[in-house]
Structure 1
Amino acid sequence: MRRPCRIYGRTTERAAVEALWAQLRSARGGTLLLAGEPGLGRSALLARAARAFTLGPVLRPRPLPAHPRPYDGMRALLRAASEGGGTAAPPPPPYRVGAGLRTAGLTQLLRQYIPGETPLLVCVDDVHLWDGPSRALLASAARHPEPKPHRPIGLLLSTAEHRADEPEFAGLPLVRLGPLDERAATALLHDLAGADVDPSVRSELLSEAEGNPAVLAALAQRLTPDELGGHRPLPRPLVDGALWAVFGARLAPLPPPTRQLLLLAAAAHEPDPAAAGADASPVLRAAREGGLDPAALDPAEAARVVYQAGDRVTFGSSLLRRTVYTGAPSSQRRAAHALLASVTDADRYRLRHLLHLALAAQGPDAALADALVAAAAPGTPTSPTERSAALSRAADLTAHEDTRTAHLTAAAEYARMAGDARRARRLLAATRDAASPDTVHGRTERVRGSLGLGDGPVGDAYQALLMAAERLDPLDAEAALEARMEAVDAAWAAGDHHACLAALADGPHPAPSQDPALAGAPPAVDPPVPAQDEALSQAHPPFPSPPPDPRRDYRTGLRTALDGHLTEAAQPLRRVLDRAHHDDDPTRLVRAGAAALVLGDIPAACRINARALAASRSKGLAALTPRILEHLAYAELRAGQHARARAHAQEGLRAAHRAGQRNVAASQHAILALVASVEDHAAAVAAHAGAALEIARPHGLLQAVTLAEWALARADLCRGRPLEAVARLGPLTRPGPGRGHFAVRMLALPCFVEAAVLSGAAAEAGAAVEEFALWADQGADPQAPAQLARCRALAAPPDDTADALYALALSRHETGHGDFERARTLMLYGKWLRRRRRPAEARNRLRDALVGFERCGAPAWAEQTRAELRATGDAPDPVPAGGLGRLTPQQLRIARCVAEGATNREVALNLSVSPRTVDHHLRNVFALLGVRSRTELSRLVHRTEHGGPQP
């Protein structure tokens, strides 16, 4: 086990420390208070800051004894000053310390020990452990620095999170340390244990540590190399002892009755750990039942271990709660649950009552297990988290191996639905060696495949889901059909057209499962039609009569569409959309939204996915919500509603990370990259596309890869780099192996045509236009007819036929809702008119394009349009200071392009002139400015326009 040698993450905290350094450089004093829970690394950050400080001396007083005397903190500081300054003067007695500080102040007193004028840094770790008078004097010095100090002094202090709000520190600059993000925690674990950590083990360690570096280190240190590598099972409970090592100092000083009452509160949390606190009433009733005074909770509240607000008792953090629970002996935990069961209303809160009884049990209890399964059955008003806990505990109480495996599988499914993928995988791992019937194995594989669909190679998920369907077919056709539908999702994400068709092949008709122990999500049942509405619907049916099973229509329609017969697919898919008007099942609504996209009904896709999102939130389906947000953001992107797409994709990204669904996160990053290619600059596009590709490529997510590459290519086009855009889009849009996603490549084809024409590959552009024409004729994309006319105009020969094609494209844009695509057509039309020496007409088109780009929030595209307008003489550049003022507008544009690193050919493509013209102007630029190289020109342009040397 290696020890970490650096700080992980902490970008905000390190920036705050750097800001303190900047204050000291400018001869001003400053203070920064770092606060955080135990184990978050505030001491490590303080030590790193002390080592990195190079502006002057650093004072780091030694820790004080457990019970310091008055002014011991100041004496320790002066002792450190005496040692650091090289003087032999001992620190004065306590009474002189106090008197000296009250008379002269901290700054003057420190000067007596460390003479000089360079900045001085005082680092005090755990300042909350100092004696009261020393804390008060230090805080006073921080709050009232000298206005013009001879020596600037910086105070860098750290304190426990629960002491940061004390009055003596009020008003001081404060930075609160939070948990490490997943990337930083992964880097820490790599440095602690090396690269040979099994991915599932790494995931569980990160989950258990909750971003706390000290807890993560304690967990990693107690595991052997075989356990870290996944060759041996992990010890259970995994956190036993690790949490107490970090948080025990917060709890040990509390009186025994207080710790017993805290255990009751922690045990009350166990049925639903994600809930916002425990119900205070049963906790206090159980305390009285056990002979505890409810006032025993007061010391814990004073120490900020728990907070009691209204009817809830909430721990300061989930790690504190888990420390209280796991730090108690198992006999005390069982006794706490028995007390809670005795005071819980068994009729009103049946599942919670049974859970406490189960957690108090010491061995198998078949009757109690059956009662838990019945209480967790679909249709009861219970959260997926509580159902998972109930079925997991039922498995612990069951001796029969097949039934136990069935309970664990159902518990894993509910954990997945609740968005707790790590818990679901942990429950599935307990079924690995079980020899169970095909139905049980089929359900296990289905859960495993569903988890892999959210995070992992989607090819593996596809095979697991098909295997699940094969095993489930004979006895549970309903579950088999759902497994096949998820296999379609996996094949779609992978861009495997043939795999989609194979998964959509007809299977047995679904029949509901009869085994409550294996129940997953509630069965999809159509809402009943009231009798009075039924007569009206027969007289005036608003929609065609729906078939008994909407999934059959969806499968038939999607399979027909994938076979290339979109006209025949329209009728069954339209019935799917009609049903969505009265549906509230989020899974069916997501499929209806997909059907709307296949039909090209983008507004319907937005409405249906928004309805699915509301239904998912109302039912607490945290695992489905990220996927719905992905579908909604994609539909809004297709509709040209970029601001809405960004908002939903950002929300979906956060939800995907919470649910452990990296595949969905990759798709959200790809959508955000496409939005950024409209609204932002190239850096934002590259950041989101890079994050998407980092996950999508190893996991085989061809749809996300295609979207990300399309976004990068569109950013290249915006920057006037068509050669790079062709290089990106060519492999994705050309026929043959290695092409892009079958449902996305046609959407990117207009970008490829534009880039190919601008880069001089007219023949390749013409072939792509003909392929795009076949797609546009199918009506699956409402913007395709206008884009087709634009593509034909771009690829048209140099005569006046392009004029009519651009006009046709603009007329077709009027029937759609794509402001961005219309503005792009106007800009390209304006550029064509300028090249044809029709500047007045070009200006009109370019002005309209500029308004369109500004309206849809596309600043980079708007800037490119302004540049075209300037080239027509509509809005000339202001004459810059210095030598650039001698250049003509065209020479200035060329100089700026060259300064950005463009070659002559790229400048010619960007400005729609010939390379020979660029070469001629560039020679004149060199002569006028007196430069001899492109590097000198770049430096001169940057220095003149940005006020400094080129970085």
Structure 2
Amino acid sequence: MELTGRRAECGVLDQLIGAVRAGESRALVLHGEAGVGKTALLEYVAARADGCRLARASGVQSEMELPFAGLHQLCAPVLDGVDRLPPPQQDALRVVFGLSQGSPPDLFLIGLAVLSLLSEAAARRPLVCLIDDQQWLDRSSAQILAFVARRIGAESVALIFATRKIGDLLDGVPEFAIGGLNDADARTLLNAVLSGPIDQQVRDQIVADAHGNPLALLELPRGLTPAQLAGGFGLPGAGTVEETFVRRIAAVPPETRRLLLLAAADPSGDEILVRRAAAQLGINLDAVVAAREAGLTEGVPRRRFRHPLVRSAVYRSASEEDRRQVHAALADATDPRTDPDRRAWHRAQAAAGPDPEIADELERSAGRARARGGLSAAAAFLHRAVTLTVDPAQRAERALAAAQIELQSGGFPATAELLELADREPLTERQRARADLIRAQLAFATSRGSDAPQLMLQAAKRLEPIDVDLARATYLDAISAATFATRLATPAGDLSAVARAAAAAPRPSGPRPGDLLLDGTAAAFTDGYAAGVPTLRKALAEFGAGMSMEQELQLLWMATTTAMRLWDVDRWQWLSDRHIQLAREVGVVNDLALALAGRAYVALFTGDLVTAAALTAEAESVNEVTGGNVTPYGLLGVAAFSGNRFETERLVAATARDAIERGEGIGLTIAGWAAAVLDNSLGRYQDAAVTAARGFEHPGDHAVYVWTPAELAEGGARSGQIDAAEQACRRLDEMADAGGTDWILSVRARSRALLTGAGEAEALYREAIRRLDGTALRVDLARAQLVYGEWLRRERRRLEAREQLRAAHTSFESMGMTAFAERARRELKAAGGTARKRVVPAQSELTAQEAQIARMARDGLSNPEIATRLFISARTVQYHLRKVFTKLGITSRSQLTQVLP
């Protein structure tokens, strides 16, 4: 197959096909204006992909609201491989494609199932997937195929999209812009399609009007007479390609136009359906002959228009009344038992005004779409139902229901639009409260920023006289939002204002799982840290008892951060693990990113920086596939603890910029803490004190993020800023006296020792070490040994100093905390000791993803289990494991325990 003027494009596609044949996977987005040749390039791939299996899908404007329509097109040829997928993935696809009944699957479980299905299909021979008109895919299909495009690795699968513009979904996928032909190639193409002579002036005008668009070059001459072509009489306003099609459509007989409109209105591929609808309209199918002769179509069934622009030109040039008539005929011809949703959609398109019966039918379709996991389609059905609903109260209720579903599915602009529709109606107090709550959740989901706490507070207050339990749950959400916004919250929504309002909330109707968390947190943020500790301890001790999985998931983030604020590492770790486990089991992928980020910090403080990095990478994978907005604070913590100066400083600056833009004040606090950790590790105590002190300018910040005072105490004591260090120690005293865990008591003792005279300092240093000796908290134990060793050296007790400093150096080295290790090494050398040379472990040669997969395999996870966690295929896992074995010099999974700590 030869394409004029497309040598570069064909070269890229040839390389892609070659890579896929060699066992690699590739994704590519071809984008450009309508008619520029994207479809022709897909056909080029199809012709060149001999020996490969082909799967195809095309977006169709009129199917954009039908759930998974595009996905079903693509997967239909390979559905014979469903039985070889893991059971949860099998179930997800069967529910989505209406092959069985079941709970609505999570969108990303569907994505993983499709990835596995395509990988399975490519097991025997490479698979090439061609997706044309991606911009017209239904949103659920578009989301899933974008997910798959980002996660393919070593499956011998190609995904090639053709689209007019790259939207958010495909952002970041490799892309190739398809431009117009140059003038020389344009003339070559034009000459190839002309059957007679053409005047030079006419040729030049056609080339100029086409702007290098191949379809325009092929179609513009069709509307010209031989005299116009050869005699140089000029072109009477050639216009765009679509306008050319419109003129040709207008020239065919009326019956032919109606048949074309019928085919354009329902591209279902069911010729019997089209025949039935045509019979109802009294259209003779022989009318298609005139369409063929005019070069508009190659047949009536689906996708037989000469070009998608013909379909859109047919539909858009028709009158509204004609469109309604063909949709009504198609609805009548559609079997309500086998395809009720398509019938409902046609009926809705045929409606001239509000129609309660059709609105009810659309609502039922929304329920079916939701049951199959098609949240976007469910919202679209409800959105259309809103416009057809007569009763204002019902119209508002449907708008709010659609807004809630759009919010769940990530359709944030549509959520805002539906809230505006609801606001135009006379809402009841319950509906107004519900609208306020959705608006607050939208603000939190899109930015976690400054507006969300105040909006949630407003919703909670409105809910108080209507639903006390829901009001209290919303107050807890408001506190969560305020802990994110902290110093950047609007004045009416700052942490203290939200906590005061929550503390004054009505008492619950009965004991509920979140009530203790709400009461304890409100008390801590209004009356001081100690006031909240007893209630919060009780909340954590009773957490999970008698709770459903959904209730646990709603509260686990607050519970885990509470355990962190109480310095209770055992409960913090248990709750973090539970959060990850439930998010995976239930399939709530958006929760998973937060859960992984929280667990990464547990790993940091226990000195397992490799696991912290792996968990952070996994959270990044979740963000990537969900388009989530959970800031990767784990990366910042890993960089600071590792002592990576340039990376930490880069991430601190980036985090601060992002936090200000999003209105997420906690980002500024975490960035300040990380910078202070780095400064203390490098011995830049003045900088550490200045940076950490900023956290005390905003009481809400150090109330939420409890680790900063330790950095201020060390930096301030070592740089002579005694007042600042004393202020930090008073904060540590408050937490230690109320909390009493070994962790906070050790940190308090270490920090106090830095400010205490020689008589008491040694006892405090020894207490700091004793309380953590034998615990999992290796980082703070090593830091206590370091400052004690430094103190002993200054007291000229060199032998004892060497013992402590060597222990600290060994720990820091083993944990990969290089800056703290270097600080300990310098002190050890000054005390007359030497440090053992660090042996670089073999696993340092692994990439981040290889290390992550190797550790999971070492821990006993199977390839499909690893694939599920990392949102990749099992074949990609096996590919990486082969590389791991080569790099580590091993031959089996069982040997991973010998080479990985």
Deviation at 1:796, TM superposition (A): 1.7
Q: Which residue of 2 aligns with 1:552?
A: 515
Tell whether 2:861 aligns with 1:863: no
User: Which stretch shows the higher mean deviation, 770-779 or 268-277?
Assistant: 268-277
1:683 paired with 2:646, answer: yes
Gap change, CA 1:305 and 1:604, over 3 Å in 2: same
- Asked if the contact 1:264/1:337 (under 8 Å) is kept, the reply is no
Equivalent residue in structure 2 for 1:832, among 742, 767, 791? 791
**1:250 CA drift (Å):** 4.4
Quote the residue 2:684 is aligned against. Answer: 721
Q: Is the 8 A contact 2:636 2:651 kept in 1?
A: yes
Hey, what does 1:403 align to over in structure 2? 394
User: Does residue 335 of structure 1 match 2:266?
Assistant: yes
Does residue 1:487 correspond to 2:478, yes or no? yes
Shift of 1:252: 9.4
What is the CA–CA distance in structure 2 between the aligned matches of 1:652 and 1:126, rounded to whole Å? 41
Whether contact under 8 Å (1:415, 1:424) holds in the other structure is yes
- 2:498 aligned residue (462, 485, 500): 500
Task: Indicate how the Cα distance of structure 1 residues 578 and 660 shifts in structure 2: closer, same or farther if over 3 A, else same.
Answer: closer
3-state DSSP of counterpart to 2:701: coil
Residue from 674, 677, 696 that aligns with 2:637: 674
> 1:609 matched to which residue of 2?
576
User: How far apart, CA to CA, are the structure 1 residues paired with 2:604 and 2:355?
Assistant: 54
Aligned to 1:773: 733
Q: 1:283 and 1:600 mapped to 2: Cα distance?
A: 51
- Give 1:569's aligned residue: 535
CA–CA distance in structure 2, aligned partners of residues 267 and 702 of structure 1: 43
Percent of residue pairs bearing the same amino acid type: 24
Q: Aligned partners of 1:814 and 1:876: how far apart in 2?
A: 22
Determine if contact 1:395/1:404 at 8 Å carries over to the other structure. yes
CA contact (8 A) 1:406 1:440 kept: yes
| Structure 2 equivalent of residue 197 of structure 1 | none
Deviation (angstroms), 1:451: 1.9
Secondary structure of the residue that 2:519 maps to in structure 1?
helix
Map of 1:790 onto structure 2? 750
1:369 aligns with 2:328: no
Write the deviation string for residues 58-116 of structure 1: whole angstroms up to 9, x where unpaired. xxxxxx99559xxxxxxxxxxxxxxxxxxxxxxxxxxxxxxxxxxxxxxxxxxxxxxxx
Q: Which amino acid aligns with 1:366?
A: P
The answer for the alignment partner of 2:617 in structure 1 is: 650
Match of 1:843 in 2: 802
- Report the Cα offset of residue 748 of structure 1: 1.2
The answer to whether the 8 A contact 2:584-2:592 is kept is yes
Work out the CA distance in 1 between the residues paired with 2:600 and 2:349: 46
Partners of 1:607 and 1:343 in 2: how far apart? 58
Match status 1:852 vs 2:811: yes
Structure-2 residue corresponding to 1:710: 673
Residues 349-388 of structure 1 deviation map (CA, whole Å, 9 limit, x = unaligned):
9886677656765555433432443465599564544533
Q: Give the match for residue 413 of structure 1.
A: 404
Question: Structure 1 720/164 Cα, relative in aligned 2: closer, same or farther at 3 Å?
Answer: same
Partners of 2:349 and 2:57 lie apart in 1 by: 17
**Cα distance, 1:687 vs structure 2:** 2.4
Q: Deviations over 1:7-30 (max 9, x none)?
A: xxxxxxxxxxxxxxxxxxxxxxxx
What SS does the aligned partner of 1:833 have?
helix
**Is the 8 Å Cα contact of residues 609 and 631 (structure 1) preserved in structure 2?**
yes
- Pairs within 5 Å for 1:115-134: 126-127=7-8
Q: Could you tell me how far 1:807 is from its partner in structure 2?
A: 1.3
Q: How many residues align?
A: 601
Q: CA deviation at 1:444?
A: 2.6
Contact 2:600 2:616 in 1 (8 A): yes
Q: Report if the CA contact (8 A) 1:445-1:464 is conserved.
A: yes
Corresponding residue to 2:778 among 773, 798, 819: 819
**Aligned-partner SS, 1:458:** coil
Distance 1:579 1:421, change over 3 A: farther
CA shift in 2, pair 1:731/1:168, >3 Å: closer
Residue type at the aligned position of 1:127: A
- Partner amino acid for 1:560? A
Q: How many angstroms does 1:251 deviate by? A: 7.0
Shift of 1:601: 3.2
From the superposition, tell whether residues 338 and 553 of structure 1 become closer, same or farther in structure 2 (CA, over 3 Å).
farther
Cα pair 1:787 1:809 within 8 Å, conserved: yes
Secondary structure of 1:443's counterpart equals helix
CA offsets per residue over residues 109-136 of structure 1, 9 Å max, x none?
A: xxxxxxxxxxxxxxxx73355xxxxxxx
Displacement of 1:674: 2.0
Aligned to 1:810: 769
2:406 aligned partner, one-letter code = A
2:59 and 2:702 map into 1 onto residues whose CA distance is 56
CA contact (8 A) 2:643 2:820 kept: no
State the shift of 1:170 in Å.
8.2
TM-score normalised over the length of structure 1: 0.55
Structure 1 residues 791, 649: CA separation in 2 closer, same or farther (over 3 Å shift)?
A: same
User: Is the 1:598–1:780 Cα contact (8 Å) retained in structure 2?
Assistant: no
Shift of 1:741: 0.6
Say which of 58, 61, 67 aligns to 1:271. 67
Please give the residue correspondences for 1:14-33 in structure 2 after superposition, counting only pairs within 5 Å: none
> Compared with structure 1, are the counterparts of its residues 302 and 336 closer, same or farther at alpha carbon in structure 2 (3 Å cutoff)?
same
Q: Distance in 1 between matches of 2:435 and 2:614?
A: 35
- The amino acid that maps onto 1:861 is F
The worse-fitting range, judged by mean Cα deviation, of 460-469 and 762-771 is: 762-771
3-state secondary structure, aligned to 1:579: coil
Answering whether residue 701 of structure 2 is matched by residue 741 of structure 1, we say yes
Q: Which residue of 2 aligns with 1:88?
A: none
Pairs within 5 Å for 1:73-472: 126-127=7-8, 159-160=11-12, 162-166=13-17, 247=38, 250=41, 262=58, 267=63, 270-272=66-68, 278=74, 280=76, 304-305=130-131, 316-317=159-160, 320=163, 332=263, 334-336=265-267, 364-374=354-364, 376=366, 380=371, 382-428=373-419, 431=422, 433=424, 436-456=427-447, 458-472=449-463
What secondary structure is seen at the aligned counterpart in 2 of 1:492? helix
Unaligned runs of 5+ in 2: 47-53, 81-126, 134-140, 146-157, 167-241, 246-259, 274-330, 487-493, 838-901
Equivalents in 1 of 2:588, 2:828: separation in Å?
A: 51
Matched, 1:579 2:545: yes
- Aligned equivalents of 1:569, 1:739: Cα separation in 2: 21
Shift of the alpha carbon at 1:728?
0.6
- Give how far 1:171 is off: 8.5
Partner of 2:871: none
| Alpha-carbon spacing, 1:779–1:475, altered in 2? closer, same or farther (3 Å) | closer
Mapped partners of 2:449, 2:483: distance in 1: 9
**CA deviation after TM superposition for structure 1 residue 706, in Å:** 0.9
Could you tell me how far 1:401 is from its partner in structure 2? 4.9
Matches within 5 A, 1:618-657: 618-637=585-604, 641-656=608-623
Letter in 1 for 2:438: V
Give the gaps of 5 or more residues in structure 1: 1-63, 69-124, 130-158, 180-211, 216-241, 285-300, 512-546, 879-951
1:912-927 equivalences in 2 (<5 Å): none
CA distance in 2, matches of 1:815, 1:877: 23
- CA distance 1:861–1:619, change in 2 (3 Å): same
The residue identity in structure 2 corresponding to 1:280 is A
Distance 1:350 1:575, change over 3 A: farther
Q: Is the 8 A contact 1:497 1:742 kept in 2?
A: no
- In the alignment, which of 832, 837, 855 is matched to residue 873 of structure 1? 832
With 829-838 and 463-472 compared, the bigger mean Cα shift is at 463-472
- Measure how far apart 1:820 and its partner are: 0.8
The residue type equivalent to 1:695 in the other structure is D
Task: After TM superposition, give the deviation of residue 474 of structure 1 in Å.
Answer: 4.4
- Please give the alpha-carbon distance, in whole angstroms, between the structure 2 residues aligned to 1:250 and 1:342: 39
